[in-house]
Structure 1
């Protein structure tokens, strides 16, 4: 069993019976909010809500759930990343294949471990949730898109430990260990590796870049410096979590357009940080422009959705990065929420949205 699954199990075992019993009523509250949104959807303010009624209802339910449920309750309901990977492999008829590091960290393969070109992915979920099956499905689609262009690219999917049992900077330690293992043990060249991350995974990818240029001096866990002989091929970030500030204007004007809310974001950030303080590694927007001058990636793509609460922070961070790295791109899409490729798959959408198309096209152009 991986350390990620163990961290989730510990959190669930610490729940009181009353906390488990309250899950039902809280889910009922979320469903009721969706029913109310559906009944009165025709009369809503369409300027400040999703254009489609179905999305308006779904986003309302998801916001209410994340506001109502505690972190432990959400972990009780959500499967561990390892279980989601096993389910994904079973559905695709694939044989599961994973890397297990010395400290119990696991990373799962989508594709062959012999591929020279590689995507290392860090999943989202506020550092408190495991990756759902849809996270693996989207990366499978990415791999298939590249394969159709004659490109053999595999994905290595980090299963990091979950907060609050594992808090910052444990996840950074795991990500650096995996990157080191990939380069030094699996013998993959940095110039053939692209890091990808959505939401909290984007936060983690940026922390990795920070550590490569400015080795983290943690007082709680040891994170060895990792010196690369060449830059990574690139970094692709979807709706990255770059700031813990929930008072920006986008939290106000996108309050009913997105699936996230200040309540849930504040709760998750406290679980992730614990007794530590925000710094340049866990809150990349707070770092000065000079911090990013020696970024160890050839190119960077950052995507944000104009309807998500994170957008102001992401654009501000992107402006900093672009000011010293001309190879950085920041693209904002229309009428999409936080982390659109994942949400579209969860909602059962068959066609790619604007962000999904952008990601696939960019990755195809870089390999």
Structure 2
């Protein structure tokens, strides 16, 4: 029986017995992956992937399918712990924002920074942030060389029985309201950044600002946010697009995992314009309270077709939108390239670095 946790990102902590079961499952997945590696041999290419990529991507899919949300949440360090470690390694300031609703966020960098990047990390709404997520928010550059700070929302992680929609949107609205009205950060100084499920949350938030979700408190302010970056956005809970099958052996995601995460996140809620951005009326994209929008995604993603359809609607309504599709790249490729130690040249990362440099100032890559 899992133990309920009253505070923190995840709702349950595993008991001793559940830890034994969890580690047994993880060991079995690793063993099966080793057998797949041996069977694959040292072939140079499989579906356009190197041997290293093939095994790394297969491992990602195997762990996603073999471990449930609670298991992954207990295995990985919390977002706050990851941010603390990142700040310590890079010798930058780190402090905790505590909101009245119980939500926390980490402020990395100077409190008087001229620019603030608000990060909504990905992970299917069920996994905490990785160190690579924080690097994304700093534009893959040395944090100490930017007159910018990063604020990372530690939103509640969904599982089979807790932290369902619209909880994460409520937390995102509370954080942005705190930055604007308590910290007195100017809207024009704020850039939003999200990858995958984090980009989904970002879209929910910007839609809510102009067209409030009836289940979430409205947020009013004067002006417009500086920009928004969406990396491999998750824009619909549906998994029927052709790319779900065409790219199933090229991506780090599996369609069954997407379905499981969506079920946990929605918790039985009906689809609406905030949890399924592709359903939002076309005119809603014409009055977003954000200036420049950048969307980056890989051509080898399961989410490719849905992202393409969404971006056509976004660009039709929001003129200051740049959309780039990168051949040979998978889901959140710039992050996975580092996390999985593939370390190959990455065009999407180069694009992100250049865009962030133009908005936040130059910095040295890390």
The answer on 1:36 being equivalent to 2:31 is no
Other-structure match for 1:120? 118
Other-structure match for 1:157? 152
CA distance in 1: counterparts of 2:49 and 2:187, whole angstroms: 42
CA distance in 2: counterparts of 1:61 and 1:38, whole angstroms: 13
Paired residues in the alignment total 354
- CA-based RMSD of the aligned residues comes to 2.3
Deviation at 1:351, TM superposition (A): 6.2
Runs of 4+ in 1 over 6 A off after TM superposition: none
The answer on 1:294 being equivalent to 2:287 is yes
SS at match of 1:97: strand
Q: Give the structure-1-normalised TM-score.
A: 0.89
The answer on 1:285 being equivalent to 2:278 is yes
Other-structure match for 2:21? 21
The answer on 1:344 being equivalent to 2:365 is no
Other-structure match for 1:12? 13
Residue ranges of structure 1 left out of the alignment (5+ in a row): none
Other-structure match for 2:308? 315
CA distance in 2: counterparts of 1:357 and 1:208, whole angstroms: 27
> Which structure shows the bigger proportion of residues in helix conformation?
1
> Aligned match of 2:82 in 81, 84, 90?
84
Other-structure match for 1:228? 221
CA distance in 1: counterparts of 2:130 and 2:143, whole angstroms: 21
Deviation at 1:238, TM superposition (A): 0.3
SS at match of 1:166: coil
Instruction: Sort the Cα spacing of 1:184 and 1:166 in 2 relative to 1 into closer, same or farther, 3 A.
Output: same
The answer on 1:177 being equivalent to 2:174 is yes
SS at match of 1:118: strand
The answer on 1:167 being equivalent to 2:171 is no
CA distance in 1: counterparts of 2:45 and 2:356, whole angstroms: 37
Deviations 1:49-100 (A, max 9, x none): 2421100010001101101111111112111111111222232334431211
CA distance in 2: counterparts of 1:44 and 1:311, whole angstroms: 25
Deviation at 1:31, TM superposition (A): 3.9
Residue ranges of structure 2 left out of the alignment (5+ in a row): 361-366
Instruction: Sort the Cα spacing of 1:204 and 1:328 in 2 relative to 1 into closer, same or farther, 3 A.
Output: same
CA distance in 1: counterparts of 2:211 and 2:154, whole angstroms: 24
Instruction: Sort the Cα spacing of 1:105 and 1:264 in 2 relative to 1 into closer, same or farther, 3 A.
Output: same
